[in-house]
Structure 1
């Protein structure tokens, strides 16, 4: 929703020109693809979750909330697509711009939080099965889920108080803020990154690092449980490495570039960071399409389900 460095155009008279048109060409098709795949995948995933509710155990509460977070965000995507198709003109009002940004951030940090909870639960089930057996109930999972929603909302709320448009220009909808507040926003963004991303990442890595060591050393762990755990680990690595890590690194680098630009300093990497930042914005949205893999990783017949789905798609295009 933001052309990011676009608010700094006037400061680039002596710097290399930033390719602001890139986001308008790259993001709309990505968002459209994520919207279609995300709705289908989350709908299918939630249906599978409800059918296997008892089989999945207490983790299903987190998985359900993960799906709700995705749907919350996906419902705002068409408005963002319209924004870019209209060459970065926001016609839905400043308040809805901030609401749309808020939904994205709550989805992002809610997703990271729920994935972390799933990792901790899986860790406890494998490493400390006797200690937690019967002690962790659905009520605990619901309470923790409410806490994750609250933390994601609290972390995202200050973002709504930063201007999302250029001064006296309500036709813009930036995903960070205007150039006048970029220094303060960079400090907020760094704190946000540490608390909302780095800490959950370290917890997830710690849990699965211990799980992998235990799985490799012990032969008494059930083979099915081992396979499910390794499959979930692969999914989490995929989500964090493709969606989350590039987004946070490049977001803060891009904000730093804006701060330097405002100070009249030019660097050769500004344009490359801006373009990479736009790509990372497209990638982070993929989490809404990839998260349903978490729903299905514990499904014993997931491969059969995928084959049936592909067969249906093939029949639709071939015509029977």
Structure 2
């Protein structure tokens, strides 16, 4: 079907869908990451190699979460400069999270599968150096993306063909390769643990949970975003060539939904904290119990302050 132009879904859908997602991610993500970072800083004297990666993962999340409140409205009121900062922080968080998750996966693989080669050779200083390298690479990439995007979610119509090629290349290097590395590491870990009868059952369960979290994060947040982003770019290329397809609108809507889902990584990444230290699950349960008690007391106080409803006779009298 060839037309001079293709009708697209109203852009109001983007604001209608994303605003509630941003609110949820901001509240949950800030509380979870704030608690996780506080715990790591409180126990910095017994800092472990993996906690360096976890700390940087949480830091990348917080930097992005702080840019969300102005986006919760229907319009961006802070101008193009803030918009570019937001795009930069988004890409920094996205690929920084993928980078640090990959570092965590590789370290756990080495510690479990090759413990004799790793013990004593990899230090906290090494993990700090690797973290700095990840930051430098992601900052450089995020800056290039922000420069090419400007204040667009992808790019302007003029450069859409070139940006599709660039997006596919960055999807391969910034997403697919790290994903395959992380998946391969955890897959090998599970195989080794299942073949070794002497391995602690707790270690097996923890590794299986980490593999599940990894697959969850990549499936919900990262895979859908990259696939639909490139499909949406392709639909724009075809539309520019005056080719319209029935699936254009569906891809556009799905891409906007994936933009909300990819933001969820800032709220889901703290799940990694549950496996950085053995004491964290117990402390998290205590925190949840305290929160439940606080909400219960608040609900009771509000209920007691509400005046008693009128009886049926009093309501009839008042109506007359």
User: Do the aligned partners of residues 138 and 77 (structure 1) sit closer, same or farther apart at CA in structure 2, a change above 3 Å counting?
Assistant: same
Secondary structure at 1:60 match in 2: helix
Structure 1 residue runs of 5 or longer lacking an equivalent are: 1-10, 165-172
Return the alpha-carbon distance in structure 2 between the equivalents of residues 135 and 59 of structure 1. Answer: 14
Q: How far apart, CA to CA, are the structure 2 residues paired with 1:271 and 1:159?
A: 25
Is residue 257 of structure 2 the alignment partner of residue 279 of structure 1?
yes
Show the 5 A alignment for 1:223-262.
223-262=201-240
133 and 54 in structure 1: CA distance in 2 versus 1, 3 angstrom threshold: farther
Provide the C-alpha distance between the structure 2 equivalents of 1:233 and 1:286, rounded to a whole number of angstroms: 18
The answer to whether 1:160 aligns with 2:162 is no
Query: TM-score scaled by structure 2?
Result: 0.87
Larger RCO (CA within 8 A; separation ≥ 6): 1
Instruction: From the superposition, tell whether residues 265 and 109 of structure 1 become closer, same or farther in structure 2 (CA, over 3 Å).
Output: same
Where do 1:4-153 residues align within 5 Å? 15-53=6-44, 57-82=48-73, 85-86=74-75, 90-153=76-139
What CA deviation, in whole Å up to 9, does each residue of 1:85-139 have, x standing for no partner?
A: 23xxx33222221121011101110000000000000000110001111000011
Distance in 2, Cα, partners of 1:14 & 1:26: 26
- Residues 312/13 of structure 1: CA separation in 2 closer, same or farther (3 Å cut): farther
Q: Is the contact between residue 274 and residue 281 of structure 2 (CA under 8 Å) also seen in structure 1?
A: no
Residues of 1 paired with 2:41 and 2:149: CA distance?
Answer: 41
Contact 1:247-1:281 within 8 A present in 2 as well: yes
If the length of structure 1 is used for normalisation, what is the TM-score? 0.87
Task: State how many pairs are aligned.
Answer: 297
| Distance (Å, rounded) in 1 between the aligned partners of 2:204 and 2:46 | 17
Kept in 1: contact 2:4–2:242 (CA 8 A): no
Give secondary structure in 1 for the equivalent of 2:38: helix
> Kindly tell me: are residues 226 and 53 of structure 1, through their superposed partners in 2, closer, same or farther at Cα, counting changes over 3 Å?
farther
Of the candidates 210, 220, 224, which is equivalent to residue 188 of structure 2?
Answer: 210
1:12–1:141 distance in 2 versus 1, CA, 3 Å: farther
Seen in structure 2, the aligned counterparts of structure 1 residues 146 and 258 have a Cα distance that, compared at 3 Å, is same
Deviates more, 1:186-195 or 1:307-316: 307-316
User: What is the distance in 1 between the residues matched to 2:271 and 2:253?
Assistant: 29
Q: Secondary structure at the match of 1:162?
A: helix
Deviation at 1:215, TM superposition (A): 1.1
- Measured in 2, the distance between the counterparts of 1:291 and 1:61 equals 14
Backbone CA RMSD of aligned residues = 1.9
SS in 2 for 1:35: helix
**CA distance in structure 1 between the aligned counterparts of 2:149 and 2:214, rounded to whole angstroms:** 34
The Cα offsets for residues 250-291 of structure 1, whole Å up to 9 and x where unpaired, read as 011001111110110001110110111011110100110111
Structure-2 change in CA distance of 1:269 and 1:109 (3 Å): same
Unaligned runs of 5+ in 2: 299-320
